[in-house]
Amino acid sequence: MSAFPHLFAELDLRGTTLRNRIVSTSHHTYLASDVPNEALIAYHEARARGGAGLIITEIAAIHETALYSDKLLIATTDDCVAPYRRLAEACQARGAKVFAQLFHPGREIKESQDGLHPIAYAPSASPNERFHIMPRPMSRALIEEVVQGYGRAAAYLSEAGLDGVEVVASHGYLPAQFLSPRINRRQDDYGGDFEGRLRFLREVIAAVRAGAGERVVGLRISADELEPGGLDEAEVLAVCRALDGDGALDYFNVTVGSSAALGASVHITPPMGFAAGYTAPHGAALKAQVSRPVLVTGRINQPQVAEQILAAGQADLCGMTRALICDPEMPNKARAGQLDEIRACIACNQSCIGRAHKGFGISCLQYPESGRELEFGEIEPAARAKRVLIAGGGPAGLKAAAVAARRGHQVALYDKARQIGGQALLAQRLPGREEFGGLITNLQQELMATSARVVTGQEVTAALIAQESPDTVILATGAQPHLPEIPGVAEAHQLDAWQVIENPALVGASVVIADWRCDWVGLGLAELLAAHGCRVRLCVNGAQAGELLQLYTRNHYVGRLHSLGVEIRPYLRLYGADADTAYFQDTLSDEAVVLEEMDTLVLALGHQAESTLEQSLTAFDGELRVIGDCLVPRTAEEAVLEGLKVGSEI
């Protein structure tokens, strides 16, 4: 009997049978523009091959006023039919059903496709808090056009052979804007009371049902938008009860949050600071009110979490999108009982939504093959097996070793520490960052599935390399804290970030953190020390704390610092210190900023490449490759990707 009887039970939606309850929900991949291309098809096909029951493709604009971004799928003409048909057929051949998502953002537009300030359209001239856009109220004629656009898009996608379509009314997008009495201030038939505010969405669903025929039609909606101008749970439940009674919908897809506010938008892609499956109670609340199946999504990163939600009756389907980005084979592994082989998502947001927000194709920190299926979808055996020695057991070295060994090379990985993992072992000790150690657990599991030899507690030297006589040496020795010469710093009680993480008790009662990197380290140290009762002043050599992090992640953790009373000072460059004072320079005005009453100065000034071994290998006549932080200190994303590349190339 399966360990996941609920997860792998079939589900019928209007005559369409899903093979299980695992769903890859819609997410903007930035792999294609206008219509699906080969990269997007390969991406979704990998998840279908891996066993997902349902794949909901990313948002498709249904009207010219919905074009809020480049690399956006568009379903306004029949040009989309043939490309969508290729995508549907590729996934259906692997056993998955395929739905498409129909989208209009309304006022939730940051910039138009040409980079200029857009004209955003909404029910009323109600601005949002996040993008600072004042929208233009929609005329009745435009409302009619947009409703027709939904229906036309549904017809095109049905012609393409997709199994269903989903209307986006979540996260404060256009249909939700009509539903909210605080945003929709219209006095005509599309505003006013509950029935008036519901009219637009009802017309949209009717048009979509007409266009889709007997194919599945679903609705994605935020159970609670969690922001002052948005919909609350009672309002959403009333909407869903009414739509359930209409009979045109086949399922509800439940999430939380809104695009309209910085705090609420965090829930679009919740970082690891949120508990796994934290949205399930919202699914349960809706399921108790409607007769149609309920899909819930929100940090459901493991099959055990999904099974628990389904068994408790909190939902009928589970959106496991980032879990499938991280491990496309997760469903097959879960069904086979290979739980230790599942690469669990750690919700770091670095390579998935982090890349997408920069306009680059989606991928995964732990599994950079994701989004690069055309390049790395198949690992090619090496033409000639080589003896490969890898120095360093951090993320870069582990990935390089696993890939090289899978290709048939004879691999030996050495790490001078007793425990492999590199800086990830430090990162996981920061508050809210505990799951980051999963990166090492997962890479180590990938390596253990090969014949590679792992030696810990032994530093690689030129003599060892001469003794082993490898064909190829891969250096992945990482980095050390960068500690530049700063006038007077020796007089202060000064610690580097690594020392504080190892032993927070070394720090005094009043702490100044000099944060040059503007990433996880400064934020994490500030929270760690504030939680220990310290007075913390976080001085950032940038525009804001966490500046280099994905914005949902940054906003969540900066909010935690606000709650702890941490004083955040941006635009500050450290230039000196003495026993109880830190001296900074305002990077905009060049004026001095003096912070007194300091017990400890913590330096988070980035890292310096550990290149000692590289400099000692001038006489080595084999192939020498340098990857990760010992090439140039960056992030784990670059380290793992470079491990994949070098492991694939040698």
- Say if residue 496 is exposed, middle or buried (CB neighbours under 10 Å; 0-12, 13-18, 19+): middle
Which tokens go with 646? 């070098």
Residue type, 28: H
Half-sphere exposure of 629 (CA within 13 A, CB side): 23
Which tokens go with 341? 């082989």
Residue type, 462: A
- Say if residue 125 is exposed, middle or buried (CB neighbours under 10 Å; 0-12, 13-18, 19+): exposed
CB 144 within 8 A of CB 34: no
Give the torsion through C-alpha atoms of 257, 26, 372, 265, to 10 deg: -10
Compute the distance between CA of residue 312 and CA of residue 456 in angstroms, rounded to an integer: 44
Compute the distance between CA of residue 305 and CA of residue 435 in angstroms, rounded to an integer: 15
Helix H or strand E segment including 252: strand 251-255
- Crossing angle of the two packed helices 551-564 and 520-531, in degrees rounded to 10: 20
- Could you write out the DSSP letters of every residue in 465-484? HHHH--SEEEE---EEE---
494: Cα separation from own chain's centroid:
35
N-term to C-term CA, the chain: 43
Structure-token match 């989606």, residue found = 362
Compute the distance between CA of residue 253 and CA of residue 292 in angstroms, rounded to an integer: 10
Q: Which ranges of 213-269 would DSSP assign to H, the alpha helix?
A: 233-246, 262-265
Compute the distance between CA of residue 632 and CA of residue 482 in angstroms, rounded to an integer: 12
Compute the distance between CA of residue 125 and CA of residue 85 in angstroms, rounded to an integer: 39
Which tokens go with 459? 């530093």
Name the region of 347 (left: φ>0; alpha: ψ -120 to 50; beta: rest): left
Asked about 278 being catalytic, the answer comes back as: no
Compute the distance between CA of residue 339 and CA of residue 321 in angstroms, rounded to an integer: 18
Q: Which of 43, 68, 84, 173 is catalytic?
A: 173
Compute the distance between CA of residue 338 and CA of residue 330 in angstroms, rounded to an integer: 9
CB 254 within 8 A of CB 287: no
CA distances from 518 to 271, 383, 482 (A): 18, 44, 14
Residue type, 101: Q
Contact partners, residue 449, CB within 8 Å, separation at least 6: 341, 402
Helix H or strand E segment including 144: helix 140-159
Select from 546, 502, 69, 60 the least CA-distant residue to 262.
Answer: 546
Residues marked active site are found at 173
